Amino acid sequence: MKKIFIALMIGTFAVAPAFAAAVVGKPAPAFSEKDMAGKTIDLSQYKGKTVVLEWLNHGCPFVVKHYNSKNMQALQKKYTDQKTYADKAVVWLSVISSKKGAQGYGTPEETMKQAKEKGSFATTILIDEDGSMGKAYGAKTTPHMFVIDASGVLTYAGAIDDKATTELGDVPTAKNFVAAALDEMLAGKPVSIASSKAYGCGVKY
């Protein structure tokens, strides 16, 4: 309550609970969250792998754009493919930080069912019901994207592409920042666009 009062007192100049830092070039914040299968997923278990984090809410029109156009599934499928990339295949974690009852939230069973319906190729989907992981990363929107390299360092944070719209037709012409970052990392090059302003719906903390 005190927080509400403070917020009221300073009106809309409210102080939001401080986001912890997920700074490009620095080690990515550690996390340990339950996934849709009930397994606990810890960042440390992917040491040596490239990890992509995708903030997800299927009720958000910006997310809908990337799933209905199959853009997101295609990215997931391509970069997690063991045959093409062998041990360089990425681990793709979709993260739902919607609080219980809010848009995008689902029980593990519902999330599993929805992932199947949407044709997700994500390695798994994390259910961050209390928003702790989202806040640790400063995830603001869906889809907010993060890329972590094999040594655990954050290499990209921001939007999925440069077209902040809900138009399906914009997907083919957009420059995809995540694909660009992953391609550069696979080629052993530094990521040229390491951050951008994430667009989309606010995460429903």
Partner 1 sequence: MLKPRFMPTFLVSCVLSLSGMVFPIAAIQAAEGPVRRPHVEAELVSENLSLQPGQTAWLGLRLKLERGWHVYWENPGDSGLKPELALSSPTTEAAALQFPIPERIPVPPLMNYGYEGEVLFPFPVKISSSASGSSMRFEGKASWLVCQDTCIPGKADLTLVVDLKSSAPAPHPDWSTLFGKTRQQLPRPPDGLRFSAWADAERVRIRIQGESDAPLPDSNLEFFPLTEGAVEHPAEILTQVTNTEASFEFKRPQNAPSLGNLDGIVVFRKLGLSYRFRAPAAKWSADLTPITPSSRPAETEPRSLAWMLVFALLGGLILNIMPCVFPVISIKILSLMDSADRDPALIRKHGFVFSAGVTLSFVVLGGVLFLLRATGLGLGWGFQLQSPLFVVLLAVLFFLMGLNLLGVFEIGTRLMGMGGESQASRKTLSGSFYSGVLATIVATPCSAPFMGAALGFALLQPLLSGLMIFLFLGLGMALPYIALTLRPDLLRLLPRPGRWMETFKQFLAFPMFATVLWLVWVLGVQRGVDVVVALLGGFILISLGFWIHQRSRQSALLPIVSLALVLIGVALPLRETGLHFSGGEVPSAGAGTAFGDLTVHAFSPTKVDELRRQGKPVFLYFTAAWCVSCKVNERVAFSDSTVIERMRTLGLQIVKADWTNYDADITRALESFERSGVPLYVLFSANSAEHGRVLPEILTPGIVLKHLESPSK
CB of 153 to partner 1, least distance (A): 13
How far is it, in rounded angstroms, from Cα 185 to Cα 181? 6
How far is it, in rounded angstroms, from Cα 188 to Cα 68? 32
How far is it, in rounded angstroms, from Cα 202 to Cα 134? 11
Residue 8 binds partner 1 (CB under 8 A): yes
Residue 74 binds partner 1 (CB under 8 A): no
Stretch that binds partner 1, among 21-29, 41-49, 118-126, 182-190 (CB under 8 A): 21-29
Q: Among 129, 141, 143, 147, indicate the residue that binds partner 1 (CB under 8 A).
A: 141
Residue 22 binds partner 1 (CB under 8 A): yes
CB of 7 to partner 1, least distance (A): 7
CA triple 194-127-84, angle to 5 deg: 50
Q: Which is nearer to partner 1, 85 or 149 (CB)?
A: 149
Lay out the site mask for partner 1 across 91-130 (x = CB under 8 A, - = otherwise). Answer: --------xxxxx---------------------------
DSSP 8-state assignment for residue 175: -
Which parts of 43-72 interact with partner 1 (CB under 8 A)?
Answer: 59-62
How far is it, in rounded angstroms, from Cα 100 to Cα 121? 24
3-state secondary structure of 96: strand
How far is it, in rounded angstroms, from Cα 120 to Cα 67? 9
Answer for the pair 64, 24: CB distance below 8 angstroms, yes or no: no
How far is it, in rounded angstroms, from Cα 202 to Cα 141? 4
Stretch that binds partner 1, among 107-115, 121-129, 175-183, 195-203 (CB under 8 A): 195-203
Residues lying near partner 1 in the complex (CB under 8 A) are found at 1-19, 21-24, 59-62, 99-103, 135, 138, 140-141, 157-158, 164-166, 194-195, 197, 199-205
